[in-house]
Amino acid sequence: MAPDELRATAEAWLADDPDPATRAELRDLIDGLPGTAEELRDRFAGPLTFGTAGLRGRLRAGPNGMNLAVVTRAAAGLIAWLAEQGGEGPLVIGYDARHGSREFAERTARVATGAGREALVMPSTLPTPVLAYAVRALDAVAGVMVTASHNPPQDNGYKVYLGKQLGGPGGDGAQIVPPADAGIEAAIRAVGPIAGVELGGPGTVLGEEILRGYVRSAAAVMTPGGPRDLVVAYTPMHGVGGGTLDAAFAEAGFAAPAAVAEQATPDPEFPTVAFPNPEEPGAMDRLLALAGATGADLAIANDPDADRCALAIPAGDGWRPLRGDELGVLLADHLIRRGVPGTYATTIVSSQLLGRLCAARGVPYAETLTGFKWIVRAAEHLAFGYEEALGYCVAPALVRDKDGITAALTAAELAAGLKAEGRTLADRLDELAAEFGVHATDQLSVRVDDLAEIGAAMGRARQTPPASLLGEPVTAIDDLLPENDVLTFRTASTRVVIRPSGTEPKLKAYLEVVEPAEGDVPAARTRAAAALQTLRKEVAAALGV
């Protein structure tokens, strides 16, 4: 964009921006030209794209950022699209404790009421699963959750859920999927000047009963009267899950978890972690220290909006975080043994163990593309779904999305039951490994500054795929282009799935090695761990990263 065109474009956006703070931010950049040209070009390189994950981006002025102007347009487009589809009923709106979340939620409510649609606003900062629950419980036409989940503190986002009328039975209370995302995106682009978007009243702020309803329903997921003797250490990771998890544990009959004091209350700066994501190295250090100090049986972490759940278990003199695949299979195995009927589902990048478990137990299994929007639509009668990125749906009739609160409760139920038998989660993992072999998984994740680097790496993998992995010939290559940018390599004992992240500037390679136990599970785990290390190097070389 030429300098004069850049200035004119920025001035036009500034004139329509309803937020004094971002207007001042943009004015400083315009006045700083030509020295600020690169920064301005980035902000006006294009609008944030509304996709199946909604909007997510940095908090900053301009169309390529999360701000009040962008949210106003998104809300107006969404509400126009709902009307075009003939959607009837209220819009329910939730928000987390990130910078700007409450303001974005309030603006969404005013845009809705200005268009003549009832807006129901959650009573406080609450987890994403509570919003997903409310869409179903209140028979809403749709729901909006203002959150960037586990992204860095400078980000925010805007997730959309549909109710039964527009989402259908499998999508009632689930995140949007195509073609809804494209329709909403087109409606957003059709919004005229923000000054022409009519704003109404603040909507109706819901009472605490919506949270109490969720807590009661979450506790009811568990088998009544089971063992509840369990010592738990917990962190909400500076997010909004703490109060809800405490209430759910109390309702279910568990003692209150010991919380990491420095991370117990919401803080949008996330001061004690580099990234507020339990998967990131070091993010759970304080939790594991607390677990050791309190003699805990189990350590649990939620991400900031509490839709994900991470577990760690005692291991020798320390603690070992479970991989998402490990917890996913433990939960599925537990629900199968409880007799929960329906289809058990996971994604193409998760471990192959769930499919083998379901085949052995004679229960329906489904495999989907990555993302919970697909998992929850795997079958109308879904029993359970999980993805390796710490997302678990243990109660689809309650929350048709990943839910870190009910996952934590179900994990606690399993751990307490095993403890009453003198056993542990580690024991159950070993039993499964003895039966099905060690399915060891890992992930190679490459964060980039330039998204073109991801395309280049995927191109290299396609043009010169590896002939062998871990000394075994590659026997199958599955390429899901053009519909999906996913590439899979298989050998007799290895699988590698490569794809760009859908929510972050990352290239991800999902690694799996299967080692037969042959009567010695510890030895098989040792062999599998060594094989994964070698596989990481081989895949990194193939990608040129």
Q: Over 80: is that where the pLDDT of 525 sits?
A: yes
CA 22 to each of CA 13, 41, 153, 285, 411: distance values in angstroms, whole numbers, following the listed order: 11, 16, 17, 36, 44
Residues 57-109 pLDDT 10s? 999 999 999 999 999 999 999 999 999 999 999 999 999 999 999 999 999 99
Per the listing, tokens 């009661």 go with 216
pTM, to two decimals: 0.95
**pLDDT for the residue 473:** 97
Which CATH number is 212-421's, of 3.30.450.20, 3.40.120.10, 3.40.50.300, 1.10.10.10?
Answer: 3.40.120.10
Please give the positions annotated as active site: 149
Q: Do domains 49-207 and 437-543 have the same CATH topology?
A: no
**pLDDT for the residue 130:** 98
Residue 113 and residue 119 in contact, taking contact as beta carbons nearer than 8 Å: yes
Other CB atoms within 10 Å distance of the CB of residue 70: 27
Return phi, psi of residue 421, to 5°. Answer: -95, 0
**pLDDT for the residue 545:** 79
**pLDDT for the residue 450:** 87
**pLDDT for the residue 543:** 87
Domain boundaries, the chain: 1-45, 49-207, 212-421, 437-543
Alpha helices in 383-478 (DSSP H): 404-420, 425-436, 452-463
Q: 214-250: buried (b, 16+ CB within 10 Å) or exposed (e) per residue?
A: bbebbbebbeeeebbebbbbbbbbbbbbbbbbbbbbe
**pLDDT band at residue 540 using 50, 70 and 90 as cut-offs:** very high
Which CATH number is 49-207's, of 3.10.620.30, 3.40.50.720, 3.40.120.10, 3.30.420.40?
Answer: 3.40.120.10
Tell me how far apart the alpha carbons of residues 171 and 177 are, in angstroms, rounded to a whole number. 9
Residues 24-68 pLDDT 10s? 999 999 999 999 999 999 999 999 988 878 999 999 999 999 999
CA 277 to each of CA 1, 151, 155, 324: distance values in angstroms, whole numbers, following the listed order: 37, 7, 13, 13
**pLDDT band at residue 307 using 50, 70 and 90 as cut-offs:** very high
What is the mean pLDDT of the segment spanning 227-235? 98
Closest listed residue to residue 507, CA positions, set 498, 516, 515? 498
Letter for the amino acid at 91?
L
Letter for the amino acid at 513?
V
User: Would you mind telling me the total number of residues written for the chain in this entry?
Assistant: 545
**pLDDT for the residue 135:** 98
**pLDDT for the residue 231:** 98
Residues 237-279 pLDDT 10s? 999 999 999 999 999 999 999 999 999 999 999 999 999 999 9
What would the 3-class secondary structure string for 480-542 be? CCCCCCCEEEECCCEEEEEEECCCCCEEEEEEEEEECCCCCHHHHHHHHHHHHHHHHHHHHHH
What is the mean pLDDT of the segment spanning 346-358? 97
Letter for the amino acid at 274?
A
| Averaged pLDDT score across all residues of the chain | 96
**pLDDT for the residue 446:** 87
Regarding the domain delimited by 437-543, which CATH topology (the fold level of the hierarchy) does it fall under?
A: TATA-Binding Protein (3.30.310)
**pLDDT band at residue 505 using 50, 70 and 90 as cut-offs:** confident
CA 253 to each of CA 162, 212, 224, 373, 399: distance values in angstroms, whole numbers, following the listed order: 33, 15, 10, 32, 21
What is the mean pLDDT of the segment spanning 124-142? 98
Residue 136 and residue 163 in contact, taking contact as beta carbons nearer than 8 Å: yes
For the ranges 290-299, 440-449, 471-480, 514-523, which has the lowest average pLDDT? Answer: 440-449
